[in-house]
């Protein structure tokens, strides 16, 4: 009941602006850095309402790019059947071992903070593993700047994710912790979208642009 209400409330408040804008950013970056018009893309933690990757694939298609897209998350059998039937051009699967696959881009959008920033070793192992399979890792995540931003981000994560049973983060990256993680992993930042605007300004007393980042990393 409360989950259904939160789903409708979020849609009433925000619509699908986040998904439309993120897919625009993601496709622009992929188009800029692609080495061919035939791409293998993995969306790791694609979500239970995977609009971002669905819209991204549509834009790539409109740009005559053949994108072979794989999506992974904690889907159950029923969800997998539904998603694979609904989006026949995308392959949805369980989070399984991907070690012998190769991708041009791996997208990790708003996933790392759900693993838990306090579990930095787990994040490091995951990124080290995924980055070996791809030329580029595209990461969208949040920056916190202190108590107020952390609380606001947690509130938004609750509204956005409680309905899907996704764990609500306790904290987020700050610029220093992210940069130290990427240095340890020897991943080079090649693209940085500054001031990512995903929500209508009228809903928020101050700009949320600096709370979001979209980075492209190269091995
Ligand atoms: C906020 S949703 C993001 C969905 C989509 N990527 C997007 O940007 O709209 C976070 C997703 O991360 C997934 N997730 C959480 N922990 C994960 C993990 N350890 N590995 C992979 N995915 C995870 C959740 O199941 C959830 O679907």
* 143 and 154 Cβ atoms separated by less than 8 Å: no
pLDDT string in tens for the chain (219-residue length): 666 676 676 666 667 889 999 999 999 999 999 999 999 999 999 999 999 999 999 999 999 999 999 999 999 999 999 999 999 999 999 998 777 889 999 999 999 999 999 999 999 999 999 999 999 999 999 999 999 999 999 988 888 887 788 888 999 999 999 999 999 999 999 999 988 888 766 666 555 788 999 999 998
What pLDDT was estimated at residue 199? 75
Q: What is the DSSP string of 116-176?
A: -TT-HHHHHHHHHHHHTTEEEEEEEEEB--SHHHHHHHHHHHHHHHGGGTPPPPS--B-HH
pLDDT in the model for residue 207: 59
Domain with 8, as residue range(s), is: 2-218
70 beta partners: 42, 91
| Closest ligand 1 atom to 45 CA | 22
Where does the chain show beta strands of DSSP type E? 38-44, 66-73, 90-94, 103-109, 134-142, 188-193, 212-218
71 Cβ closer than 6 Å to some ligand 1 atom = no
Look at residue 206 in the predicted model and tell me its pLDDT.
56
Q: What is the pLDDT of residue 208?
A: 75
CA of 219 to the centre of ligand 1 (A): 23
Residues with Cβ < 8 Å from 70, sequence gap 6 or more?
40, 41, 42, 43, 90, 91, 93, 101, 103
Q: Are 70 and 96 in contact (CB under 8 A)?
A: no
> Contact, 198 vs 212, CB < 8 A?
yes
Structure tokens at 90: 């995308």
The CATH number of residue 209's host domain is 3.40.50.150
> Does the CB atom of residue 114 touch ligand 1 within 6 A?
yes
Residue among 73, 112, 161, 163 to mutate when testing ligand 1 (max atoms within 8 A of CB): 73
- The helix, strand and coil proportions of the chain, stated in percent and rounded to the nearest 5, come to 45, 25, 30
pLDDT for res 205: 53
Does residue 47 have its Cβ closer than 6 Å to ligand 1? yes
Atom 13 of ligand 1, residue of closest alpha carbon: 45
**Two structure tokens written together for 12:** 């009433």
Whether residue 139 has its Cβ less than 6 Å from ligand 1: no
The total domain count for the chain is 1
Q: How far is CA 173 from the centre of its chain?
A: 14
Cα–Cα distance measured from residue 145 to residue 148, given in angstroms and rounded to the nearest whole number: 8
Closest CA to 68 of 96, 46, 88, 47: 88
Rounded to the nearest angstrom, the distance between the alpha carbon of 113 and the centre of ligand 1 is: 9
């Amino acid at each position: 009941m409360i989950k259904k209400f939160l789903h409708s409330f979020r849609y009433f408040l925000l619509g699908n602006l986040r998904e439309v804008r993120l897919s625009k950013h993601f496709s622009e970056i992929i188009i800029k850095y692609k080495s061919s018009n035939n791409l293998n893309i993995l969306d790791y933690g694609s979500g239970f309402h995977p609009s971002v990757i669905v819209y991204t694939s549509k834009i790539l298609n409109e740009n005559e790019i053949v994108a072979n897209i794989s999506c992974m998350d904690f889907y159950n059998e029923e969800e997998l059947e539904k998603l694979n039937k609904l989006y026949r051009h995308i392959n949805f699967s369980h989070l399984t071992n991907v070690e012998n696959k190769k991708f041009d881009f791996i997208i990790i959008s708003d996933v790392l903070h759900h693993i838990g920033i306090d579990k930095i070793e787990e994040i490091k192992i995951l990124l080290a593993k995924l980055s070996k399979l791809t030329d580029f890792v595209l990461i969208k995540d949040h920056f916190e700047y202190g108590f107020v931003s952390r609380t606001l981000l947690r509130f938004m994560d609750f509204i956005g994710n409680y309905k899907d049973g996704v764990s609500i983060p306790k904290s987020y990256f700050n610029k220093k912790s992210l940069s130290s993680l990427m240095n340890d992993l020897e991943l080079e930042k090649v693209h940085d979208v500054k001031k990512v605007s995903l929500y209508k300004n009228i809903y928020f007393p101050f700009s949320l642009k600096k709370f979001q980042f979209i980075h492209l990393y190269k091995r």
